[in-house]
Amino acid sequence: MSKCLDRIALAALIAGMAGSALAGDFGLGRPATPEEVAAWDLDVSPDGEGLPEGSGDVMTGEELFSERCAACHGEFAEGIDNWPELAGGEGTLADKDPLKTVGSYWPYLSTTWDYVHRSMPFGAAQTLEPDEVYAMVAYILYSNDLVDDDFVLSNDTFLDVEMPNADGFIVDDRDETEVPLFTGEPCMTDCKESVEITMRAMVLDVTPDDGTDADEAAAAAAAAEAKPTPEAPVHDPELVAAGEKVFKKCAACHQVGEGAKNRTGPHLNGIMGRTAGAVDGFRYSKSMEQAGADGLVWNEETIGEFLANPKSFIKRTKMSFQGLKSEGDIAAINAYLASLGG
């Protein structure tokens, strides 16, 4: 009997505790302080709301990026191994394999700032001061050709940056435009008054071969054989091989050889004797375009001067590379580039 009364008393006590808890204060913890709320309230909106005061310029950002980010993202934000590329990809979003970077894909600069501030650098998240974040983001923008090298990003200039893909996203209106089409009663019989065949599948490559193309091709081949071939310049094989090794410092941004394409920098096939800023499809800095317009032609001398100190040779060039200090390396690069031809 006593055990039964004990159980009844315990049940009544638990019910009373639950009733008082539901009716009012749990009696646990304390209100968060303003400082604690601020530590968690890190989000930044596309209109700049939530940005702290601060500023950072491109050149400072380059140094910080090299120190804190380049091990994963590359010196020029080109990405290393499986770590993502942060620059490039302009005009690729319609491709089968688009390159989605800060410059090509992200519609809002706030996404970049917020992510760097909240999650980077890898393994040391939220160790960056606001000024450091502003500087790093400024350098990422510069790597995407969105700002000049003297740009200063701050909470005041934040909205001055125009992101190329800002209009590339649409509001999801499927609830209004698509759902009604699939939620009504389906038509099962006599859904159309008539059915007509409007097109037929066809093979397009059925033009008869009358031999004309073959004859023309044979004549062209014969003419090519009869035409003397100019002798290719002779290059020191050892110097060319040394230049190929030095070129690894450039390969993150520049492609060479068969199938070379423009990347962060233009391809360098046929650079010897070419006017500066003249590769089709590459977006050069204004200073490089002006240098070409003023008559700058790439040869061993001009390439050597440029590689020794790019930013001194052409002010405000987009190339972030600090330069080659060894004359031997410069000579080797010249030999390697000259060996590539057009």
38-60 pLDDT, tens per residue?
888 888 999 999 999 999 999 99
Asked if pLDDT for residue 231 goes beyond 70, the answer is no
Last residue of a domain, one of 92, 125, 160: 160
**Mean pLDDT for all residues in the chain:** 83
- Return the residue matching tokens 């709320």: 37
Question: What single DSSP character describes residue 52?
Answer: P
Query: CA-CA distance, 288 to 145, in Å (whole number)?
Result: 13
Residue with more model confidence, 211 or 109: 109
Q: What is the pLDDT of residues 134-193, one digit of tens each?
A: 999 999 999 999 999 999 999 999 999 999 999 999 888 999 988 988 888 888 888 888
Compute the distance between CA of residue 341 and CA of residue 226 in angstroms, rounded to an integer.
23
For residue 165, being part of any structural domain is answered with no
State the pLDDT confidence band at 5, using cuts at 50, 70 and 90: very low
- Return the pLDDT at 1: 45
- 320 vs 183 pLDDT, higher one: 183
Tell how far CA 237 is from the center of its chain: 36
In a domain, 113, yes or no: yes
Residue 28 lies in a domain: no
Q: How far apart are the first and last CA of the chain?
A: 103
Beta-carbon contacts of 287 under 8 Å, excluding residues fewer than 6 positions away, are 314, 315, 316, 317
What was the pLDDT predicted at 92?
93
In a domain, 280, yes or no: yes
Domain contains 196: no
Residue 136 lies in a domain: yes
Residue 218 lies in a domain: no
Q: What is the pLDDT of residue 13?
A: 53
Eight-state DSSP code of residue 33: P
Q: What is the rounded CA–CA span in Å between residue 293 and residue 299? A: 16
* 309: confidence class by pLDDT, cuts 50, 70, 90: confident
- The predicted-structure confidence for 92-124, as pLDDT tens digits, reads as follows 999 999 999 999 999 999 999 999 999 999 989
Helices (H) and strands (E) in the chain, counts: 14, 2
* Cα–Cα distance measured from residue 77 to residue 83, given in angstroms and rounded to the nearest whole number: 10
Which range of residues forms the domain containing residue 281?
237-340
Separation of alpha carbons 243 and 339, rounded Å: 10
The mean per-residue pLDDT over the stretch 291-299 comes to: 90
Question: Are 154 and 48 in the same domain?
Answer: yes
Spatial separation of the C-alpha atoms in residues 44 and 51, rounded to whole Å: 6
69 and 156 in a single domain? The answer is yes
* Structural domain count, the chain: 2
User: Range with the lowest mean pLDDT among 144-153, 194-203, 208-217?
Assistant: 208-217
pLDDT of residue 207: 54
> Which pLDDT score, from 0 to 100, does residue 302 have?
92
Same domain, 261 and 151: no
Say if residue 41 is exposed, middle or buried (CB neighbours under 10 Å; 0-12, 13-18, 19+). exposed
| pLDDT for the residue 220 | 62
- Cβ neighbors of 201 (< 8 A, separation 6 or more) are none
In this prediction, residue 2 carries a pLDDT of: 44
pLDDT in tens, 262-282: 877 888 888 888 898 888 888
Mean pLDDT computed over 238-242: 87
- Cα–Cα distances in Å, from 204 out to 198, 207, 208, 298, 333? 18, 8, 11, 46, 48
Position 212 in a domain? no
| DSSP SS3 for 335 | helix
Count of Cβ atoms closer than 10 Å to residue 306 Cβ: 23
Tell me the C-alpha distance between 243 and 112, whole Å: 37
Q: Say yes or no: 244 and 147 in one domain.
A: no
Q: Verify that 153 and 67 share a domain, yes or no.
A: yes
Supply the pLDDT for residue 168: 92
Residue 248 and residue 146 share a domain: no
Domain boundary among 160, 188, 210: 160
In angstroms, the CA 116 to CA 126 distance is 8
Residue 249: both structure tokens together: 């410092």
Check which CATH number belongs to the domain holding 117 and give it. 1.10.760.10
Most confident of 137-141, 214-218, 338-342: 137-141
Give the per-residue pLDDT at 329: 86
pLDDT of residue 85: 94
Last residue of a domain, one of 160, 176, 205: 160
56, containing H or E segment: strand 55-57
Q: Which of these, 99, 336, 128, lies nearest to 240 by C-alpha position? A: 336
Q: Say yes or no: 52 and 153 in one domain.
A: yes
Tell me the HSE value of 67 on the side-chain side, using a 13 A CA sphere: 10
Please tell me the distance from the alpha carbon of residue 43 to that of residue 111, in angstroms, as a whole number.
9
User: What are the structure tokens assigned to 107, written together?
Assistant: 């519609």
Q: For residues 208-237, give the mean pLDDT.
A: 59
Confirm if 333 and 234 have CB atoms less than 8 A apart. no
